[in-house]
Amino acid sequence: MKLELDLSFLYGSTILPECILIVCLIIILILDLISEERDTSSLYFISLMGLLISIGLLLFQWNEKPIISFSGNFQTNSFNRIFRLLIALCSLLCIPLSVEYIRRTKMPMTEFIIFVLTATIGGMFLCGANDLITIFVALECLSLCSYLLSGYTKKDVRSNEAVMKYLLMGGISSSILAYGFSWLYGLSGGETQLQEVINGLINTRMYNSSGAFIGLICIIVGIGFKLSLVPFHQWTPDVYEGVRFVS
């Protein structure tokens, strides 16, 4: 039996930008543990360099052909590269704009950088996800960091209230979304890849059944809560009010 190791992602054809951010995240965690002086300037520099390298790799991959990797769980094409690039750019702007205020208010810088980078990784994986499980895990990675960032000012009562409301609403929406995915998984004959789910629903002739309708409704409701779409937006003003940083 010949064992072949697929290392195509090492030369930038799939998830190399995300791998760079993961390595930076690990380095930041290690430096924070071993550093005694709590110098955050190096952590700040590492996070920015990781984001810049990831953006450069995404630009380098721009003209590459679409690739489906990791057993069909991740897809790379020019369309999702646009959104991956946009997410990385937003994080690149978010950290420099926030770092001075965080230093003045003496809030922990390391946790903020870790949450932002982890949310960035989850969002970038979500853009290229081609599988129900990958979509759910990447979305939860992004959502959990959003919960933690909403409760970042732990001494503020409003921030504590915001994170509790956000966590409860997020948990409910994740449960509904997972329930909708389970309907699609069962009706398609046990498939998780998006194209295979569609083919499975057509082959089993369940695409216009009541079960498929229930699954679609659950997915719309779950995503609606995540995105604060009407009429699932009632929790958003309270959370936004609570996450305001206090001086």
Q: Locate 241 and state its tokens.
A: 């009010």
Give residue 82's domain range.
Answer: 11-130
57 contacts 15 by C-beta, under 8 angstroms: no
Which helix (H) or strand (E) segment is 74 a member of? strand 74-76
Considering the domain boundaries, does residue 19 fall inside one? yes
In a domain, 1, yes or no: no
pLDDT-wise least confident of 34-48, 49-63, 80-94, 215-229? 34-48
Output b/e per residue, 21-41; b: 16+ Cβ within 10 A.
beebbeebeeebeeeeeeebe
Q: Domain check: are 113 and 187 in the same one?
A: no
Judge if 109 and 210 occupy the same domain. no
Residues 107 and 61 in one domain: yes
Is 135 domain-assigned?
A: no
Q: Are residues 40 and 115 in the same domain?
A: yes
Domain boundary among 98, 130, 162: 130
Clarify whether residues 39 and 114 are in a common domain: yes
Residue 6: which residues within 8 A CB-CB, separation 6 or more?
A: 69
pLDDT-derived band of residue 75, with 50, 70 and 90 as boundaries?
confident
- 228: burial class by Cβ within 10 Å (0-12, 13-18, 19+)? middle
How would you label 61-90 residue by residue, b for 16+ Cβ within 10 Å and e otherwise? beeeeeebbeeebbbbeeebbeebbebbee
Residue 138 lies in a domain: no
Q: What is the pLDDT of residue 159?
A: 76
* Euclidean distance between CA atoms 121 and 123, whole angstroms: 5
pLDDT at 5 exceeding the cut of 50: no
In Å, how far are 8, 155, 171 from 161, measured between CA atoms?
46, 11, 15
179 and 232, same structural domain?
A: yes
Structure tokens at 126: 């979500």
| 212 in the same domain as 110 | no
Number of structural domains in the chain: 2
> Are residues 119 and 174 part of one domain?
no
Between the alpha carbon of residue 203 and those of residues 169, 200, 246, the distances in Å are: 36, 5, 56
**Which pLDDT does position 177 carry in this prediction?**
92
Looking at the structure, do residues 176 and 87 belong to the same domain, yes or no?
no
pLDDT of residue 175: 92
Is residue 121 scored above 60 in pLDDT? Answer: yes
Domain assignment of residue 137, yes or no: no
Are residue 115 and residue 165 in the same domain, yes or no?
Answer: no
> Which of the listed residues 130, 146, 168 is the one where a domain comes to its end?
130
Same structural domain, 90 and 177: no
Nearest to 160 by CA among 151, 147, 169: 151
Q: Identify whether the C-beta of residue 139 lies closer than 8 Å to the C-beta of residue 126.
A: yes
Domain assignment present for 38: yes
> What does the pLDDT look like over 193-242, one tens digit per residue?
888 888 888 888 887 888 889 999 999 998 888 888 888 777 778 787 77
Domain stop point among 130, 164, 193: 130
3-state secondary structure 22-69: HHHHHHHHHHHHHCCCCCCHHHHHHHHHHHHHHHHHHHHCCCCCCEEE
Per-residue pLDDT, averaged over 119-136, amounts to 91
Are 115 and 186 in the same domain?
Answer: no
Residue 62 located in a structural domain: yes
Tell me: pLDDT of 120 over 90.
Answer: yes
Q: pTM of the entire structure?
A: 0.85
